[in-house]
A and B are shown apart, each in its own frame.
Chain A
Amino acid sequence: MSTTFEFSFEGKPIAAREGQSVAAALLEAGERCLRIDEAGNAKGAVCGIGVCWECRCGIDGVPDTRACITVARPGMIVRRQHGLSPCADT
């Protein structure tokens, strides 16, 4: 069994295995809504390979990070983006 640890998604603890992507861990935990777009639509992972950008989240303060190609790490802080990209807004 590979090591498991936790990261946080919207303040909730999510279990992940070493090497697992953020999106995969979230799917395993039953979390499918990863983002709310400008029109208020809930969005989740679609292409699974980093091409569609639907799964982009704020990960450890970095906005627009694709959850499907980002490997989860212990203590990572993942937040949904709502509406327009914050793009490291000052």
Chain B
Amino acid sequence: MSTPSTARGHPTTGEQKPEHASIRIYLIVAGILSAVTALEFGVIYVRRLAPVLIPLLLVLSAGKFALVVMFFMHLRYDSRVLTFLFVAPLVLATLLAIAVMTLTGEFLVFSR
């Protein structure tokens, strides 16, 4: 599945990354995404999981997020520079969002 525009898409690190995801991988990812989504929907009705519900949902959705970014958006196979250019702002934005929520009194641990 190599193409002119992606053939050069490799870092000069000399690392041997697979060039491209296959259709099979896309279908597997799509299957996982569907299953996890159904799982998330189900999990909120399971009372026994209530104490860990929030971290569980966050982890599951983060997993879906990562799968789409790594495979559908091809980041796993592309230059490391692109990973940095996306992940750094993502992390920074997340930290700032948490900071804003804390400062406006969302997490009472740090409120006045």
The judgment on whether A and B are partners is no
User: Which residues in B have some Cβ–Cβ distance to A below 8 Å?
Assistant: none
User: Which residues in A have some Cβ–Cβ distance to B below 8 Å?
Assistant: none
